[in-house]
Structure 1
Amino acid sequence: MLDVREQVPALTAVLTVVSLALVFGAVGGAIPAVLLPRAPESVLEAIPTVNALISAAAIVSILAGVRAIRRGNVERHRRLMVGAFGLFVAFLVLYLYRVTLVGPTDFPGPAVVETYVYFPLLAIHILLAIVAIPAVYYTLLLAASHPVSQLGRTNHPRAGKVAATMWLISFSLGIVVYAMLYVVW
């Protein structure tokens, strides 16, 4: 029988590799679009806005979860962080679906803004998202595999602070990227 507590780093690595392979595969066009049913154009066009709303909801959930644990409300913290993870999964599924069928969105604004504002923000957003994925998995796996009474003696509190910070910044920058792609220009 697999003891998850002993396998948290390995499970984190496997989940991270699978997640990043899906993202890079979709963005790179390695996932054939014919494998997926095509939604109407109106649905495909709505996905970026839905994902921005999901990101905003995730930000609120993460902040509320951090507040809950600071106040000692472990059960509320758990529910909010699991909810934030669920929102992340929903975001990822919608993002992967759209990018597989439509491809990445080109920046519609001026080249100077693209070069000096959009690309740096996008790069930071992507880098933090990539680094946050294993931190989030690791933190959640620790929480899922240990009783609450033992979590303080694991890396969960430290890893959780790092994961939440990167997650918050990445989600926030994702909303800025959305605004630059779909609202401002």
Structure 2
Amino acid sequence: MEKEQAGSKVYLRIIYVVSLLIPLVVTFLIFFPAKFGAGSWVKTLPTVHALINSLTVVTLIAALVAIKKGNIAVHRSFMFASLFMGVLFLVSYILYHSNVSSVKFGDLNHDGMVDEIELAKAGTSRVIYLVILASHILLSILVVPFVLFAFYFALTGQITRHRKIVKYTYPVWMYVSITGVVVYFLIKPYYI
């Protein structure tokens, strides 16, 4: 029993550390891109991110359908696929932001600034974009520990706790995945 509790504490600490490190690393790289010189191919990664987010939506829906039908094995497979997509997205996102400066919505001349003329041309679409982006970013940070706890509870047989947490985690994860695609299509015209 003591070994089991000690093991649980280790996993819980890992969840907390990972949940804290991810937003810190991403934030640092956005404000201080490292420019590792990965090449111009890195600029194609936002399209890959949209594809990964789209596939995550599909795997999350498939997992929900599977569990509603009582097929735990298929549900588990699709949830691991969703988690894999999340990890793949994160690695790709870090690679992108460690090599490319952030694109600003409305920056038509690609100088890294949105001047008065560009701001006027963007109009209310910029506000809509920023609201969607802000909710996407905030919820993507908040959902990480809950996703990890949901997996932990499922893998350790704590199904009641798993069910309670996924009632809130699943729709947030779905929202983050969908808005990731929406954000991509909204800002796509401003990529070089």
Q: TM-score range by the shorter chain?
A: 0.7 to 0.9
The one-letter amino acid of 1:12's match is I
Structure 2 stretches lacking a partner, 5+ long:
108-120
**For 2:98, what is the secondary structure of its paired residue?**
helix
**Does the aligned pair in 1 maintain the 2:153–2:159 contact within 8 Å?**
no
**Does the aligned pair in 2 maintain the 1:12–1:141 contact within 8 Å?**
no
Query: Residue 40 in 1 paired to residue 33 in 2?
Result: no
In the superposition, the TM-score normalised over structure 1's length comes to: 0.85
**Does the aligned pair in 1 maintain the 2:150–2:165 contact within 8 Å?**
yes
The higher relative CO (CA closer than 8 Å, separation ≥ 6) is in 1
Equivalence map 1:60-139=2 (5 Å): 60-108=58-106, 110-139=121-150
**For 1:101, what is the secondary structure of its paired residue?**
coil
Q: Distance in 1 between matches of 2:45 and 2:189?
A: 14
Aligned pair count reads: 175
Higher mean C-alpha displacement, 6-15 vs 123-132: 6-15
**For 1:106, what is the secondary structure of its paired residue?**
coil
**Does the aligned pair in 1 maintain the 2:49–2:93 contact within 8 Å?**
yes
Tell me how far 1:164 sits from its aligned partner. 1.4
Deviations 1:60-114 (A, max 9, x none): 0011111111111111111111110110111111111111111211113733235
Q: Distance in 1 between matches of 2:146 and 2:51?
A: 23
Query: Residue 15 in 1 paired to residue 15 in 2?
Result: no
Name the counterpart of 1:157.
163
In the superposition, the TM-score normalised over structure 2's length comes to: 0.82
Alignment RMSD (CA, Å): 2.1
Tell me how far 1:45 sits from its aligned partner. 2.1
Q: Distance in 2 between matches of 1:136 and 1:158?
A: 12
Deviations 1:125-184 (A, max 9, x none): 11110111111111112223x13xxx323x111212322111110111111110011159
Tell me how far 1:49 sits from its aligned partner. 0.6
Tell me how far 1:16 sits from its aligned partner. 0.3
Q: Distance in 2 between matches of 1:51 and 1:32?
A: 20
